[in-house]
Amino acid sequence: MSYQDIYKVWSTDPYFDEKTREELLAIAGDEKEIEDRFYKSLEFGTGGLRGVIGAGTNRMNIYTVAKASAGLAKYIVDSGEEAMKRGVVISHDSRHFSPEFSKIAASTFAAYGINVHITDELRPVPMCSFAVRYFNAFAGVMVTASHNPPKYNGYKVYGEDGGQVTEEAAAAILSNMAEFEDVRKVKTSDFDEGIASGIITRFGVEVDEAYTDMLMDLIIDKEAIARQADMSIVYTPLHGSGNKPVRRILKRAGFNNVHIVPQQELPDGSFPTVKTPNPEDPAALTMGIELAKKTNASLVFGTDPDSDRLGIAARCEENGEVVYKCFTGNQVGLMLLDYILDSKTKAGTLEDKSFACTTIVSTKLCASVCREYGVELQETLTGFKYIGERIKIDDEFGDKHFQFGFEESYGYLSGTNVRDKDAVVAAMLVCGMAAQSFDRGETLFDRLERIYKKHGYGFEQAVSFTLEGKEGIDKIQAAMASMRADLEAVKTADEAAALIGGPSVKAVRDYKKSVRYDFASGSAETSELTLPVSNVLLYELGGDKGIDWACARPSGTEPKLKIYFGVYDSDKDEALARLEKIKAEMSAFVQNKLQ
C-alpha cells in the first residue's frame, strides 16, 4: 500500500484508538506531514527503535511498540520453550508514555506465552541490564530515548547477557516484524489479567538491593572516602530515573553531604527546567551549579533521563574567584581510567591480562595510560553494545579481566554485571575519585593536569548537523556517500588534504567498506579493517604525536550527522590552536556536502 493508503487505514479503522484517529484526521490535507509519518515504518536498528512520539508507522506509539514486541516475541518463541520460560525483563524511564509503552510490550509478550518481569516503577538502563542477568532472562526491553528532546521515546532491546542485542538477533527481529507490517495482526492480551495469571510479574526492592550490593564491591579507596565523607556534593537527576539508585549508592558508600536539586528531582517527561536533558550540554547543570554555590559544594553532577550518561562540574579558582567548570566526557573517562588502574596497581589488586575499552571517537590518550599500567586497550566502534561484546568475549568467556570502559558521549562502565553505560556506578566512582583527590590536597583539575603532563595534552570536540525528517535523512546519507566517493579518486596525501580543504591526511578508514586508505606512500595503498561494518569515515591527520584525527558518522539515535575531532600535543596552546583550525576546515567540508 502507498503511504496515503496506510494513512487512511490508521485514521478511519476502529481498530485504532480514538485519540490516534483524531490526531491523524487533524492533519488531513498536509501531504508532507502524512508522508513523513507513513512513508516507512520506524526503523528497528541494532539497538531497537527510537523516534518522535505520535500517530503513524514512522512514530513511537503503542502500535509500533506492539509491532516491535511481536517481532521480538517471535524470535523468543523460535528459540524454544526454555527461552519463553526465562522470558523478558522490561523497564522504563520518565519519558512521556514510557509506562504505557512498557505495559503494551508486556501484554504483547504475554499474548505469545512469554514470561515477563516488569519494573514496578521507573528504573534506569543499567538496572534493566542488571535485571536481565539477575533473573537469567532471555531478553530485556528498556523504554527510553535516553538524552533526546521530550518529543522522542524509544525501545531498546537487550540479549540474555544483559548487553544490547546482537546485530544477528536484531536482523532476525526486524525480519519477524515484516510479518506484522499491518499492525492489526499483532496479538495482545490484557495487562491486568497477565498480572493475575502470573505470566507478568513486577520486580522492585529485591533487584534494587542486589544491584546496590554489586556496586559496593566496585568501590575504590574506601579509606579516602571515609576521610572525605562530609565533602559537599550536588546531584541532579534532570527529571529522570537516576534519583533513587544514585542517592542509594552514595549513601551506602559513605557520602553524607549530598544535595539534590529540588526543581529537577522528580520524574517529568517534559524536562521543564532544561533545554535538553543531556548532561553533555553544560547548560543542563546550571541549576546544579547554582545550588553548589549555596552549599559550598566541591562537585556537581547530573544524569540523563535513563541514567546511562553522567556529566560533571567541579569547583576551582580563577583569578581569585570560585567558579564551577565542566569536564568533557573524554576528560572524565581519562581520569576514571587512570584512577582505577593507578589505585588497583598500588593496592596490588590489578589482575594480569587486564583490559580496558573505549571507542574510535574517544580520546587517544587512553593508549598511553594503559601502557603505563600494562593494561591492554581495545578500541571499538561507537556504541556501548560493542564494549559489552568485548566483556562477554574476553572476560566472561575468555581469560582476561575487564577494568573499565567508556565512550566520549559521557558513558562509563566498571564491573561486568551490567553491560551498558552505567551513570550510577559512574557517579559512585567520580565521587570516590574526587574524595581521593581532595584527600591528596588536589582538585580534579589538578588531577587532569597531572595526567596531561605525563601523557600529553589532548583535546576533543564534536560538531553536529541536525536535519529533521525524510529530506534530512536523505541529505545525511548523500553527504556520506559523496565523501566516500571522493576517496576513490584520491591517490596522495596532498590530494586528500586538498579534498577536505586543509589538514594533512595520512590515511582514511572507511568502516562501511572495511578498508583503510594509506596516502603516506603516495600510492593510496589499502588494508582491511577488522571492526564490524558501520557507516563511518575516520581521517588520520598526523600532528605532533601522530594521532590527530577527525571522524564523520550519522548518529544512530538522532537525525544528525556528527563530526568528531581529536588533537594531541606536548604543548597545550599548540593543541588548542590546531583543534580550532581542524574543526573549522572539516566543518566547512562537511557543510558543503550537506547542501
Tell me which residues are annotated as active site.
146
Q: What is the three-class DSSP state of 577?
A: helix
Cα-flanking dihedrals φ and ψ of residue 75, to 5°? -60, -40
Residue 270 in grid coordinates: 517534559
Cα-flanking dihedrals φ and ψ of residue 49, to 5°? -110, 150
b/e map 33-46, b = 16+ CB within 10 Å: bbbbbbbebbebeb
- Distances in Å between the Cα of 513 and the Cα atoms of 171, 206, 430, 526 are 19, 47, 39, 11
- Distances in Å between the Cα of 109 and the Cα atoms of 90, 139, 187, 188 are 11, 11, 9, 8
Cα-flanking dihedrals φ and ψ of residue 54, to 5°? 160, 180
Cα-flanking dihedrals φ and ψ of residue 258, to 5°? -105, 125
Tell how strand 258-260 and strand 310-318 pair up: unpaired
b/e map 561-579, b = 16+ CB within 10 Å: bbbbbbbbbeeeeebeebb
Q: Which of 303, 40, 77 is nearest to 187 (CA)?
A: 77
Angle at the Cα of 54 (from 14 to 127), degrees rounded to 5?
Answer: 115
Interatomic CA distance for residues 383 and 364, integer angstroms: 17
Interatomic CA distance for residues 580 and 576, integer angstroms: 6
Q: Which of 541, 544, 542, 442 is nearest to 552 (CA)?
A: 541
Do residues 354 and 375 touch, judged by C-beta distance below 8 A?
A: yes
Interatomic CA distance for residues 148 and 51, integer angstroms: 9
Residue 236 in grid coordinates: 541532579
Distance of CA 339 to the CA centre of its chain: 22
Is the dihedral angle over the CA atoms 219, 222, 227, 230 positive or is it negative? Answer: positive
Q: Where are the alpha helices (DSSP H) in 199-298?
A: 205-216, 222-227, 243-253, 286-295
Do residues 412 and 331 touch, judged by C-beta distance below 8 A?
A: no
Interatomic CA distance for residues 457 and 170, integer angstroms: 40
Angle at the Cα of 309 (from 306 to 314), degrees rounded to 5?
Answer: 130
Contacts of 312 (CB under 8 A, 6+ apart): 299, 300, 301, 302, 326, 327, 332, 430
> Which residue matches cell numbers 509491532?
67
Distance of CA 333 to the CA centre of its chain: 14
> Which residue matches cell numbers 532491546?
157
